[in-house]
Amino acid sequence: MKVSELLENKEFKCLNPQVGIEGVIKSGYVGDLLSWVMANAGNECAWVTIQTHVNIIAVATLLEMTCVIIPEGAEVEESTLERAIIEDIPILITGLNAYEVCKILGNAGV
């Protein structure tokens, strides 16, 4: 599933659509402990996390994730967005919770 296809679902909004949104989401990962995510998340995944500070972009970049999804309407810091634009990582926000996000990804075949 491409990020652009996920964005066809109106529950999701991309905060930095100027970066590429044609990346393919090959798997998903949910986690807020950054070291745990570093150790276990795969590349080309959609990472669902409630962390919104700039270091999530470092993690997403180093692991070559496809996108970061911030659930439950959490606000993303400006510095995070700036870094995400530089690093070409789409940040998606949604009012859904992490489980509901995963259901959508799973139903789409991710």
Residues in touch with other proteins (CB under 8 A): 32-39, 43, 49, 51, 53-59, 61-63, 79, 87
Pair of tokens at residue 85 = 């634009």
- What's the min distance (Å) between Cβ of 78 and other proteins? 11
Beta carbon nearer to other proteins, 6 or 51 = 51
Burial 47-81 (b: 16+ CB within 10 A, else e): bbbebbebebbebbeebebbbbbbbeeeebeeebb
60 contacts 68 by C-beta, under 8 angstroms: yes
Beta carbon nearer to other proteins, 6 or 23 = 23
HSE-CB for 3 with a 13 A CA cutoff: 26
Beta carbon nearer to other proteins, 4 or 61 = 61
- What's the min distance (Å) between Cβ of 33 and other proteins? 4
**Separation of first and last alpha carbons in the chain:** 7
Beta carbon nearer to other proteins, 5 or 32 = 32
- What's the min distance (Å) between Cβ of 7 and other proteins? 26
